[in-house]
Amino acid sequence: MTVLASEDRIRRTREQIELLCTVRSELVSAMLAIAQNRLSDLEESIAEQEAMTARLRLVLGGEATPGEESRQRATGVPAGFALQEAGLDQGQDLSEELWIAGKELQQTARIYARLLEHSSHSAALMASLLGSMRERGREVSGSGTRYQTWSCQI
């Protein structure tokens, strides 16, 4: 591996770390939007996340050169986590930094996923309430009236 290629690898690794941090920051922003009940902020953040996920896919897995791809297939080591093999001083530090950023993003993503799951469940409950209300209104005025309670619907 030439020095030029190693420097390019370091530059890309730094870019990866930065992207992981940015994505994590975006997830926190989305959580804040949910907490503050700012729907439009949440929608903006989700659009941003979509774009970042696409970028993340490219940077983490899709940007390897043909040579690196064959090497990855042979060793199972992705480009971003094998810098020490390049014999660079900064390699080990950057690898650790990338690992930590990835782990933090994973954990934040798990929290965010749980929040989304709970919020979706809440929304489903509210949808049930609304559905019951509308159903009740329709059925009372129609034939074959059937009464139901909130608890039944929920």
Partner 1 sequence: MGGLNTTLNIGVEALDVTQGELDATSNNISNSSTPGYTEETAQISENALTQSGGQVEGGGVTLDGITTTQDELLNLQIQQQTSLQSSASTASGILDQVQTYFDSTGTDIASTLTSFSSSLDALSANPTDTADQQAVLDAGQNLASSFNSTADGLTSAQSSASSEAVSTVAQINTLTGQIAQLNGEIAQLKAAGQNDDSQQDSLNESVLKLAGLTGISVTQSDGGVTITSGNGTPLVEGDQSFSLSTSAGSDGSVEVLDANGNNITSSITGGQLGGALAMSNTEIPQMLSQLNTLATQFAGAFNSAQEAGVTSSGSQGQAFFTLPADGANAASGLSVALTDPSQLAIDSNTTSDGSNIANLSGAVVNALPSDVATSSEGGLTASTGLTAGSVTTIADAMTGKTFSYTASAGSTLADLQSAIASAVASGTLSAGTTLDFNSSGQAVISTTTAGDTLQVSSTDSVLGGFNSSGPTPANAYASLVDAVGNAASNASTESSAISSNLTSLNNQQSSQTGVDIDTETANLIRYQTAYEAGARIVSTMQQLLQDTMDMGGSQTY
Chain contacts with partner 1 (rule: CB under 8 A): 21, 23-25, 27-32, 34-37, 39, 42-43, 46, 49-50, 53, 56-57, 60-61, 72, 75-78, 80-82, 84, 95-96, 98-99, 102-120, 122-127, 129-130, 133-134, 150
Q: Is the dihedral of CA 145, 149, 152, 154 positive or negative?
A: positive
Cα end-to-end span (Å), the chain: 63
Query: What minimum distance in Å lies between the beta carbon of 67 and partner 1?
Result: 17
Query: What minimum distance in Å lies between the beta carbon of 5 and partner 1?
Result: 18
Query: What minimum distance in Å lies between the beta carbon of 66 and partner 1?
Result: 18
Question: Tokens 């934040």 — which residue?
Answer: 108
Residue closer to partner 1, measured from CB, 8 or 50:
50
* Torsion angle of C-alpha atoms 30, 35, 37, 41, degrees rounded to 10: -20
Query: What minimum distance in Å lies between the beta carbon of 24 and partner 1?
Result: 7
Helix locations, 36-142, DSSP H: 39-57, 66-75, 89-141
Residue closer to partner 1, measured from CB, 1 or 125:
125
What is the distance of C-alpha 35 from the center of its chain? 18
